[in-house]
Structure 1
């Protein structure tokens, strides 16, 4: 089963990271990533650029509204993610507990990644997606 570990932090928590030596942070995260690789569970991992560089497309009105970052009432920002292929949610939780960026304001949300096999296989769009995934080596 695949699980996504969504790395979240408050604005204040991100500010505390500004004081951490970047090389030290890379070493810490790198060691954790290496553990995931050696355990054979890492599928993908990416960090995200500063929220101030992002945009939000709000679909709450008939014409979508695009707003530049930073965002006005942010309580938590999505800073990066891991996708792990593990045997259970409990195993995903155990990996999340070991994540290297911790402290007040840091959280990891864990969500199972659904598969195309869970979708209605007789749907024309699912058939097209399955064909694309097979052609690109994803299935």
Structure 2
């Protein structure tokens, strides 16, 4: 499962040529409904072993989340699917921080530009402090 956490500007649905009627926004805005069955209904099948939890990619609502906004969704998905890939937007918020701290493994994708390399270094340094017993993030320079 690929979950696009960039609700305002996410592009995973475009990358996988999907236009789902519902997705991650329904789960985040109704955390009390999240269970394996509800999550399965929100997923869009892209291939035999690939499903997408798409972002709405709209500015029609504000996406100010509390720090644990994605916790129930991530916990449920980790229990019910073999592999969960979270596409986290380039933001530093309480929910992004908490989501990264709880991740099993982190892969950072960056472009080889000075500002991006600086931001990547800052993120790697912070994650080392927040996750002292975990391996460092993997880096992909794209």
Task: Specify the TM-score bucket, using the shorter chain as the normaliser.
Answer: under 0.3
TM-score (norm 1): 0.25
More RCO (CA 8 Å, sep 6+): 1
The structure number with the bigger radius of gyration is: 1
Bigger proportion of residues as strand? 1
